[in-house]
Amino acid sequence: MSDLPDAERVRRYLLELQDRICTELSAADGGCGFREDVWSRPGGGGGRSRVIEDGAVFEKGGVNVSDVRGDGLPATASANRPELAGRGYRAMGLSLVMHPRNPYVPTSHMNVRFFIAEKPGEAPVWWFGGGFDLTPYYGNEADVRHWHRNARAACDGFGADGGDALHARYKAWCDRYFFLKHRDEPRGVGGLFFDDLSEWGFERCFAFLRRVAEHFLPGYLPIVARRKTMPYGERERAFQKIRRGRYVEFNLVWDRGTLFGLQSGGRAESILMSLPPEVSWRYDWRPEPGTPEAELLEHYLVPRDWLAES
């Protein structure tokens, strides 16, 4: 089998993955389906957005596939990669964000993507990226340990030592990336994050992308099943909305995918699908000491090696 990059294979996989993920998330919600929106981009390419709203479990969520093309990258996208200047590009990926109704169910995000830039007479520049992370509103150690064990399993068989070093590297990268620098605060409890992956060749890198993608639902759905019927009240909902505000801040200020999408003329509705439906900001709000809300900040939103502790 050739090890040349094959964008069409990646595209077909992403569309099939979207179908499977939407089916399983709909079942987890209790049958509320996803609205589908197929769109095209004037500059080239398009996508297939699927959004769920007002479900029994998921207040809002989206599973989007995009495949966009262009003759040149935005200056901000090529600033650190001068070899991309003057190349046409194709960027595709699946991006998923689920915002649950019950504050005891975490928000979760997953993204897998492929990028290729080509120029006549020169070898293509390409790479894979992606990962997943978990953003709880109320901490639960069993859930977080399960999440990180699942992330470690996604790395099995990759890397020189079978996956331990790779997992440690991509866990640390996730912790660094999903961090609100302006608040000196993590967005959640992490997971995996990787980018610019091409060093193993196309087939091996594509296999790793698929492995990460296939581990999202086994990590998230058991947590959803355990927490979705827990009783909650206005206090928990109010705290959920405050923490959702942090999610909005990260996506609009720091997230590279959001910035690339908007700067390259992407479809705003699909890019901003990741934002939660109800959010609040309260000036200088701080949780009362000794409360579950304070525990989230003090015990969970701090650097921890969850697997070593377990």
The domain over range 7-300 is classified in CATH as 3.40.640.10: no
pLDDT band at 65 (very low <50, low <70, confident <90, very high): very high
Average pLDDT over residues 114-120: 89
pLDDT band at 80 (very low <50, low <70, confident <90, very high): low
Q: Is 148 annotated as a binding residue?
A: yes
Q: Is 112 annotated as a binding residue?
A: yes
Average pLDDT over residues 122-141: 94
| Structure tokens given for 173 | 């990268």
**Residue 104 Cα to chain centre, angstroms:** 20
Q: What are phi and psi of 134, to 5 degrees?
A: -125, 135
215 compared with 160, residue with greater pLDDT: 215
- Residue 224: exposure state from Cβ atoms within 10 A (0-12, 13-18, ≥19): buried
Beta strands 88-100; 58-70: pairing state: antiparallel
Q: Is 113 annotated as a binding residue?
A: yes
Lowest mean pLDDT among 12-16, 43-47, 138-142: 43-47
Q: Is 244 annotated as a binding residue?
A: no
Helix (H) / strand (E) element for 86: namely: none
pLDDT of residue 256: 82
Domain boundaries, the chain: 7-300
What residues act catalytically? 109
pLDDT of residue 310: 66
